[in-house]
Amino acid sequence: LDPFAGFGSIPLEALRLGLDATAVELLPTAYVFLKAVLEYPKWAAERKVDLAKEVEKWGRWVVERLGEDPDVKGLYGGAAVYIGTWEVKCPACGRHTPLVGNWWLARVKKGNEYERLAWMEWDNGVRVVDLGRARAEVKARGEEGEGGVVKAGGREYRVSAKNIDARRETARCLHCGAEINHRVVDGKVVKPSAKKKVGDWYVKWALRQWNERYERYLRGEIMLEELRESPARPTILAKVRLEGGDLRFEPADSQDVEKLWKAAEKLREMWGDPDIPTEPLPEYERRQMMVCTSTGACKWYQLFNPRQLLALVKLVKLIREVGRLAEEEKLREGWGREDAHKYAEAVTTYLAIALVNFVRHNALVNHWEGASWQPVRHVLAMRGIAMQWNWGDVNPYSEESLVSYKYLNYKNVEGLFYLLSAVSGSPGRVRVLLDDAASLSKLGGETFDVVVTDPPYADDVPYAELSDFYYVWLKRALSGVEGGRLVPR
């Protein structure tokens, strides 16, 4: 028995040893993963079902249908990832200025040489400086994102420092150079007082204005132009292509930004759809969930720009459609209804797990790092959901990106091959229970020979709170829809 089973590594080892294993979890998100790690591979092995091949087939179907969707087709072009940030309307000059937390695009070092070295510069717009593979000396100033000096090929380059410092509540306009440390008092923008801070910092106020207008636009209460003229709004800085295994960076253009607004128009037409996660973020007291109080992003859908959100909602619908089609396929092949339903349940679960892996790499609260060949750091990399100034917007059906939905589903299949081989010869049985380790009420007084567990680490990671980030998407992909409402399947 493992009463804190998590993602199931301990009961999986018990199965590999031929033992009967019972895995208990309280969190619904972890419960779904336990079924994928333990229950479905065991079921497939006993019935000689090549589950990995089936998941690969249906995953390919999802990607192909998404690429054909008229609402999504054309929104990504040939880019694998777009690098975006927030921009705010400067109180001094009135122009929208990007707030860039890190100008580096790639800084991948191997030995004494940089395998990839590139960064952005500002010249009335973004310009890319790309040294490719280079022997260079790089000295960063202060924090990791503080820019620095690059010496390469007999030349010296200066990489800009970030122009946003949220802790000090100040920013700098890239157009006019003005310091943006203004305050907002009773809805009016005022210059900061030398004696004390009053009201809200202008940038935080502007972000809250965006989230308020974002919902009002989607509800049909304001027009697109008013949304576009918000004091803060998302924008695209650069785009990344992968060619011959190498990264190619290009500045974003006006058409790239325009695609965000086209996606917003599609979302407005869909508003009220139960697959848009409009639930409020839980009001946890822990600091890891402070994104709501600081930016006004207090509903789950507000953690995504319009293009990200539209792609995720479309993926949810396609995964749910797979559940219906997969079950019908097996019934036509003569399977019993129970096994056909179990097969469809297993396939959609793996597709939904690839979805939430994609979700954590495709949000306004992920982070473009650039220090590795997988430069998009996922949302929970810092053990919380936090405001970010450089985020990645990932093409879901990209052939090259290591965090596209297509690639992540391939990695799922790869893992499933291992799980099937690990349990296929085991005589052990497995149970996965959604229950409380404090009571174990579903075990009915059953006894066990061995209890092996790895309990949670107190408050080191807020598992329950952060698992909701996955849960709001899992419950949509694994539910049905009747009368415009989600219902259990």
- Tens digits of per-residue pLDDT, 208-258? 999 999 999 999 999 999 999 999 999 999 999 887 778 899 999 999 999
For 134-185, how does the pLDDT look when each residue is reduced to its tens digit (9 = 90+)? 889 888 765 555 788 999 989 999 999 999 999 899 999 999 999 999 999 9
Residues 199 and 190: beta-carbon distance below 8 Å = yes
The Cα 401–Cα 380 span in angstroms is 19
Share of the chain above pLDDT 90, in %: 73
pLDDT band of 401, cuts 50, 70, 90: confident
Q: What is the pLDDT of residue 289?
A: 58
Average pLDDT value for residue range 16-21: 96
Whole-number pLDDT of residue 420: 95
Of the ranges 225-234, 238-247, 364-373, 429-438, which one carries the lowest mean pLDDT score?
A: 364-373
CB atoms within 10 A of CB 447: 6
Comparison of pLDDT for 458 and 453, the residue scoring more: 453
Q: Say yes or no to pLDDT of 342 above 60.
A: yes
| pLDDT reported for residue 488 | 80
Q: What is the 3-state secondary structure (H, E, C) of the chain?
A: CECCCCCCHHHHHHHHCCCCEEEEECCHHHHHHHHHHHHHHHHHHHCCCCHHHHHHHHHHHHHHHHHHCCCCCCCCCCCCEEEEEEEEECCCCCCEEEECCCCEEEEEEECCEEEEEEEEEECCCEEEEEEEEECEEEEECCCCCCCEEEEECCEEEEECCCCEECCCCEEECCCCCCECCCEEECCEEECCCCCCCCCEEHHHHHHHHHHHHHHHHHCCCCCHHHHHCCCEEEEEEEEEEEECCEEEEEECCHHHHHHHHHHHHHHHHHCCCCCCCCCECCCCCCHHHCHHHHHCCCEHHHHCCHHHHHHHHHHHHHHHHHHHHHHHHHHHCCCCHHHHHHHHHHHHHHHHHHHHHHHHCCCCCCEECCCCCCCEECHHHHCCCCCCCCEEEECCCCCCCCCCHHHHHHHHHHHHHHHHHHHCCCCCCEEEEECCCCCCHHHCCCCCCCCCCCCCCCCCCCHHHHHHHHHHHHHHHCEEEECCEEEEC
**Residue 287: its pLDDT value, please?**
54
Pick the residue with more confidence: 401 or 455?
Answer: 455
- What is the per-residue pLDDT for 181? 95
- Which of 379-388, 410-419, 426-435 is least confident? 379-388
pLDDT at position 354 over 90: yes
Res 284: pLDDT: 65
Of 138, 142, 137, 118, nearest to 128 by C-alpha is: 118
Tally Cβ neighbours within 10 Å of residue 221. 10
**What does the pLDDT look like over 89-132, one tens digit per residue?**
999 999 999 999 999 998 888 888 888 899 999 999 999 999 98
User: pLDDT category, 285, cuts 50, 70, 90?
Assistant: low
Q: How high is the pLDDT of residue 375? A: 80
How confident is the model at residue 109, as a pLDDT? 84
pLDDT, tens digit, 9 for 90 and up, residues 375-394 = 888 888 777 788 889 999 99
Q: What is the pLDDT of residues 181-211, one digit of tens each?
A: 999 998 999 988 776 778 899 999 999 999 9
> What is the share, in percent, of the chain residues with pLDDT greater than 70?
96
pLDDT higher than 80, residue 260: yes
Residue among 117, 178, 108 at smallest CA distance from 149: 117
